[in-house]
Structure 1
Amino acid sequence: MRFLTIFKKYPATFWASNVIELFERWAWYGFYMAFALFLVNSKDTGALGFTQAQKGVIMGTGSMLLYFLPIITGAIADKIGYKRILFLSFTIYISGFYMIRSFDSFEMVFLSFIWICVGGAFFKPIISAMISRTTTDETASIGFGIFYMMINIGGFIGPFIAGIILNKSWDYVFYMSMITMSINYLITFFFF
């Protein structure tokens, strides 16, 4: 019973933040798991046909920025405001997913992936901060447990669905990520 009592202590922003995290992870992991294949598979399949070395440069550089930049983007969010930065993050993500599917040169795909990772770098510190701000000493452990459960659920759903729709077209994976990320605009607008 105490467990259910703690659930009632979380504000709406806590639950909204968790749902936003779920959809962001769904979009990201659905894209990311297919992206490595998209980079190196044959052009006959609609993929890009890059080399393994090119894939390594793209994914390695982007991932490094994704985990380094939150130091800077978190400070920017504190100055500008979380809601504005969330909208910016979603816009960068969606436009990046679209750009990657639109380009076929190494340079433009590289820049598009960097762009997506910048969107992720804006997102990461804000959503973690929202979980922290909406929990107390009494509710923090369960709150972060729920948060990581949302990450894992999104991380499962995204690649699972991407694997199913990938057989139809690479485009469907990118569209799935764009649509899933777009849902976060509505949640952010109404609950933040």
Structure 2
Amino acid sequence: MSDRPGRRIAVGITGASGALYAVRSVAALLASGCQVELVVSDFGRRLLREELGEAAAIEVLSEYLATRYGDGVRAGTLTLHSNRDVGASIASGSYACEAMAIVPCSMKTLAGVAHGLSRTLIERAADVMLKERRRLVLVPRETPMSLPQLRNMVASAEAGAVVLPAMPAFYQGPRSLDDLADFMAGKILGALGFSHELYPPWAG
């Protein structure tokens, strides 16, 4: 995939811990000129407020991103969908949305994706990615993991998803939580098909 402006990417935010990974990924996509189709579950909304504060509430998220990451995020567009609206544009394979990331991905959402339940817009949009053979990146954040959870990861990978656990590395010498978030966001963008400079590559 090229990094052409205007690429349409869906992002789901669910209730697993890791709000900083989500907002950093969305900010990086917007800064690259993407049209980001954002869906936040009820627990995802709570997650944003509890981990990042009321300034990151979904109703004012665009301003939060610009304040935290700079006006470069205004290069893209952010469209918010209700997770209850299973008839939204991204619920159809005929809508030109080329990839999706669910970050963080709760174990409930993982199970729904693995078994094709499509109970919510996040699950339905993920199912569309799989059936249309488009990129789907799942970012689970849980530890330890049970056998059913591990099996759901295997099932999702077998269906075509990229399972990308929220496991930041330390070889790049992180000095802050933002550095760790940059690493994970870079991994997510790479899996979505984007080049980036969010962390230095391993030089050997």
Q: TM-score, normalised by structure 2?
A: 0.28
TM-score by structure 1 length? 0.30
The answer to which structure, 1 or 2, has the higher relative contact order (CA under 8 A, 6+ apart) is 1
Looking at secondary structure, tell me which structure has more helix per residue. 1
